[in-house]
Amino acid sequence: MDLSQAFSTMAADLPAIFSMSVVTVAGLVMILQESLSENDRPIPWIGVGALAVAVVWELVHLGDPAGTAFFESIRTGGFASYINLIVLGSGIVTIILSVPYLDHIKHAYGEVYAMIMFATVGMLMLGTANSLVSIFVGLETMSVCLYVLTGLIREDEGSVESALKYFLLGAFSTGFFLYGIALMYGATGTMYLPEMQGAVPEGSIMFWAGVALFLIGFLFKVSAAPFHMWTPDVYQGAPTPLTGYMSTASKAAAFASLILVLFYALPDERWSLVLSAVALVTMIIGNVLAVSQDNVKRMLAYSSIAHAGYVLVALAAGTTEAYAGAMFYLLIYAIMNLGAFGVMAMLEWDGKEGRVQSLDSLAGIGHEKPLLGVAMGVFMFSLTGFPPLGGFMGKYAVFAPAVDAGLTWLVLIGVLMSAISAYYYLRVVVVFWLADAEDTPEAQAASRSFVFAGIPVKATIALCAVALVVLGVYSGGLLEMTFGFFEEGMMAATP
Amino acid sequence: MFGDFIPLFIMIALATGLALTLLKAAEIIGPKRPNRIKRTPYESGMDPIGSARERYSVKFYLVAMIFIVFDVEVVFMYPWAVSFHDFIEGGAAFGVMVVVTIFTVILLIGLVYDIKKGGLDFEQ
């Protein structure tokens, strides 16, 4: 290859990684600010500013045609911009919610925000990857930062435990993932997703063994059963706003990447049955185990397992409509979960033993903090999937194509499980509004010195709630847009 | 294609077998005259002091971070320096310089951070 040509191509491709570059540079500036200056106050706002710039850039490029950049290692265009918007938006919400929370628990280090930025870079790369190597690099950049963020409260045993579990199991799953990539590469001789489709040797056990290991790595990251064991412990121990980040942005990026792999590299229908089985187990385990949880964060962790199951239903269906529905669902899910974890972060206080998150200790809190109470109600109803809200449209967009693809039995289980989920989601609303603090000893015993929720936090949580209502009513345009990404990809894939 | 790997498997079997045979042979044939000095753990010639299960100062980790900065730098810089001549001939000297500068600056920021956090400050 002509070397000078290579560098001019790379220079021309720079707009494709605009968001990644801006976020990286902001992260480096934050590190320097933290080490060189005594004043840590501006650090989170540098991050919010950089993420906002990237959001504007991605909004402008939402309608771009699909393409690749950097010698086909990164995807560009509408799909990439869409998933980047979810990740960047989650990053902004997380940083805004983290500021008062980390101040309250006295762990307001500048490095936390820099780590959030670097994790975001990893997710941006993961969600737009076009080759197995970019997927791996993105996944690891994201994971390493998340391991550190999980163990942030280092004098709390629960936090250290969760960080260690996450790190050890995550490193183990990375091994599976990498071995899967090696086998897939060995069988096909290519790392690029679109080329892989045509290069699979007929009846190659090596390739399908590789795909199985590769899927295990992915299913671990999106916490699908039976690779979900780490989720409740890790989500419980991590600082709450960062748990929200982990459960939304990293899952959205991992799912987007998985969709790209399934859509471009493996259009063969053979994996459909495997994914249906995983989706089935995931939905049942997530919903059934969530019922018995006292701790709200653990409940939300099991609920996030259940929601991974719903998305997997769409992936198992494997049609263009299903992928479009899954992309739409990821957006809705990100908003719901960020909001729910955000409210929980604001309703936490320093108890004697670490941080208290038991539901009973929040009896009647809705009357004390009406905005947070109402917002939590919206998030819970939406997570259950009540009609006017975004959660309903999301579930519809995921389940309807699955029925069309002949997975009626799976959708039936999904709907049944959603009915079970109403119990534990609505229990939160009942305790928030209808339970009386005077009758609940736990609420009496707690000192209830909450995180001070300032205007930015309240505005963010309110915005999430409003967005859910708006997206529930006006979802057609968005669904059409996500559908367009795949139509276009289909045409590009079959020249 | 499985047949292509048979020499490799023979090689692995031979290597493992030889290593195990030698270890076992040393155990069986070798003379055993233990004394107290021979039984103490080897710590580079120093007399062992106290238990090995102690908590390390966090300083060691900061020093290890500096080590990693330079370690990673060398891993990438050395091949770059060796092949830089080819890049000049290929007309890509400027592009390669820019890329390596970005890389070095990022590592430099890590180093600045570590030193400012007291990575080389052993007094406290």
pLDDT band at A47 (very low <50, low <70, confident <90, very high): very high
Cα torsion for B97, B101, B107, B112, to the nearest 10°? Answer: 150
A113-127, B6-20, B27-41: least confidently modelled range:
B27-41
Whole-number mean pLDDT of chain B? 85
Q: Which residues are bridge partners to A355 per DSSP?
A: A350
pLDDT band at A350 (very low <50, low <70, confident <90, very high): low
Nearest to A328 by CA among A124, A467, A127, A480: A480
A460: CB partners within 8 A, 6+ apart = A93, A96, A97, A342
Do A450 and A348 touch, CB atoms closer than 8 A? Answer: yes
pLDDT at A493 over 70: no
Contacts of A9 in chain B (CB under 8 A): none
* Partner B, chain A 2-21, Cβ-Cβ below 8 Å: 2-4, 6-8, 10-11
Given an 8 Å threshold on Cβ–Cβ distance, is A6 in contact with B112?
A: no
Given an 8 Å threshold on Cβ–Cβ distance, is B92 in contact with A11?
A: no
A320: exposed, middle or buried (Cβ count in 10 Å: 0-12, 13-18, 19+): middle
Q: Which residues are bridge partners to B43 per DSSP?
A: B46
User: Measured between alpha carbons, how far is A303 from A295 in angstroms, rounded to an integer?
Assistant: 12
Do A116 and A145 touch, CB atoms closer than 8 A? Answer: yes
Nearest chain A residue to B102 by CA distance is: A25
Q: Which of A3, A4, A31 is the closest to B113 by Cβ? A: A31
Do A314 and A325 touch, CB atoms closer than 8 A? Answer: yes
For the segment A145-157, the average pLDDT, to the nearest whole number, is 88
Angle, alpha carbons A194-A199-A201 (nearest 5°): 145
Contacts of B110 in chain A (CB under 8 A): 31
User: Measured between alpha carbons, how far is B76 from A373 in angstroms, rounded to an integer?
Assistant: 53
Nearest to A363 by CA among A433, A448, A293: A433
Bin A106: left if φ > 0, else alpha if -120 < ψ < 50, else beta. left
User: Measured between alpha carbons, how far is A244 from A447 in angstroms, rounded to an integer?
Assistant: 25
Contacts of A36 in chain B (CB under 8 A): 112, 116
**Structure-block tokens of residue B5:** 């790997």
The number of C-beta contacts closer than 8 angstroms across A and B is: 36
For the segment A111-119, the average pLDDT, to the nearest whole number, is 93
Enter the pTM of the model. 0.88
For the segment A240-250, the average pLDDT, to the nearest whole number, is 92
Given the structure tokens 């998933």, which residue do they identify?
Answer: A83
- B114 to chain A, minimum CA–CA distance in Å? 8
Angle, nearest 10°, between helix axes A230-237 and A296-317? 130
For the segment B36-53, the average pLDDT, to the nearest whole number, is 79
Contacts of B94 in chain A (CB under 8 A): 7
Residue A249 is predicted with a pLDDT of 93
Residue A2 is predicted with a pLDDT of 67
- B67 to chain A, minimum CA–CA distance in Å? 19
Domain boundaries, chain B: 2-39, 59-116
Backbone angles phi, psi at A448, to 5 degrees: 55, 50
A161: CB partners within 8 A, 6+ apart = A233, A237
Tens of pLDDT, residue by residue over B88-111, are 888 788 888 888 899 999 989 988
Tens of pLDDT, residue by residue over A270-310, are 788 889 999 999 999 999 999 988 888 889 999 999 999 99
- A29 to chain B, minimum CA–CA distance in Å? 9
- B90 to chain A, minimum CA–CA distance in Å? 5
User: How far is the CA of A38 from the CAs of A100, A102, B116, B119, in angstroms?
Assistant: 19, 18, 11, 18
pLDDT at B124 over 70: no
Contacts of A6 in chain B (CB under 8 A): 92, 95
Residue A118 is predicted with a pLDDT of 95
Tens of pLDDT, residue by residue over A78-108, are 889 999 999 999 999 999 999 998 888 888 8
For the segment A255-259, the average pLDDT, to the nearest whole number, is 93
